Amino acid sequence: MSKVISSMAGTIWKIVVKEGDQVQEGQEVVILESMKMEIPIEAEASGTVKEIKVNEGDFVNEGDVLLEVE
C-alpha cells in the first residue's frame, strides 16, 4: 500500500479522485492551495484509491497522509 502525503502545509483545494478510482503513478490526485498558489499532489504508485483521509477545505501540514493507494 502506498500513501500520498502532503509536500507542504496548505489547504485542500480540490480532491481530483474518489475512493475506488484507478490511478497511475504521477497522476494528480489532490490540489493543495498554499500562499495563493495551486500545487498538484501526485500519486507515487499506480493502483486503486483505498481511502481518502482529508476533505476539501481541510488544512494539512507537510507530511500529512492525504490518501492511500492499494
Domain definitions of the chain by residue range: 2-69
Does 62 have pLDDT greater than 90?
Answer: yes
pLDDT at residue 16, as a whole number: 97
pLDDT at residue 61, as a whole number: 97
| Residue 41 backbone phi and psi in degrees, to 5 | -110, 130
Over residues 1-41, the pLDDT tens digits come to 899 999 999 999 999 999 999 999 999 999 999 999 999 99
pTM of the model: 0.90
Does 55 have pLDDT greater than 90?
Answer: yes
pLDDT at residue 1, as a whole number: 84
CATH architecture of 2-69: Beta Barrel (2.40)
